Amino acid sequence: MTDTWRELPPTGIHRVDPKVTWTGDRIVVLLDATPDDRSVGTGLVLDDDGTGWQRTAAPPMSEFRAAVWTPSGLVAMGPLSRHLGDDDGDDRPDGIVATYDPTADTWARLDEPTGFDVAAPGRPSMVWSGREVLVVDAPFWFGATEDEPVLRAAALDPASGTWRSIDDPPLSWRGGSSAAWTGTELLLWGGESSTGYTSDPYADGARYRPGPGR
């Protein structure tokens, strides 16, 4: 059937803010852990015939802040729950960047980008440029209780697992910006300056063009 909607089978797992990616031949859905069990998130892959879902191998993080598909696999970032072994007495979880190979059904951890707080509550923006994963990080800010953070940007080569720094975007701190890759540039637009107490939307944005060979 064409030019029509078809229902997908329910997963039976109720979550908000899922991350959905298309690998070229299958749909992968990433779901955060429940508030009652922060141990690990859930990955689901739609069956080839579209009639059901299969769980992926257990992801290494409890929540998915952002995710994008690349030819080297799905790249996701988010916090590691303390339930998975953070036993040093620090309640703050570690941040995780990982790739998922749907063919082998395996996850592999990568290094975090320098200057990023992957575990911090926030809504980073992530796109695939055809060569690199471009990430703009916007950690949560508690307003008057802390100094205002700045937006950070970095680029990941998923094949090698290496990061390079990008100049900070010329925008005030914000979260929830929309991002898109045009074929030559990353466009970042909007967002809000939510501090947990107030929320003010933005009506501006910025564009970033990688250098030659990037």
Token reading at 41: 């998130």
Q: Determine the pLDDT at residue 76.
A: 97
Q: Determine the pLDDT at residue 37.
A: 63
In order along its 214 residues, the chain shows pLDDT tens digits of 689 999 999 998 888 889 999 999 999 999 998 766 666 899 999 998 999 999 999 999 999 999 999 999 999 999 876 444 444 445 556 789 999 999 999 999 999 998 887 877 678 899 999 999 999 987 665 554 556 667 889 999 999 999 999 999 999 888 788 999 999 999 999 988 765 556 788 999 999 999 987 8
Q: Determine the pLDDT at residue 87.
A: 46
Q: Quote the Cα angle for 88-90-96, to 5°.
A: 90
Q: How many other C-beta atoms lie within 10 A of the C-beta of residue 79?
A: 25
Cα–Cα distance measured from residue 160 to residue 41, given in angstroms and rounded to the nearest whole number: 25
Tokens 């080569």 sit on residue = 157
Token reading at 144: 């008057």
Q: Determine the pLDDT at residue 146.
A: 55
Q: Quote the Cα angle for 16-197-39, to 5°.
A: 35
Q: Determine the pLDDT at residue 172.
A: 85
Of the candidates 52, 44, 7, the one whose C-alpha atom is nearest the C-alpha of residue 28 is: 44
Q: How many other C-beta atoms lie within 10 A of the C-beta of residue 26?
A: 15
Q: Determine the pLDDT at residue 181.
A: 98
Cα–Cα distance measured from residue 121 to residue 66, given in angstroms and rounded to the nearest whole number: 12
Element holding 37 (H helix, E strand): none
Helix (H, G, I), strand (E, B) or coil at 199: coil
Cα–Cα distance measured from residue 92 to residue 122, given in angstroms and rounded to the nearest whole number: 14
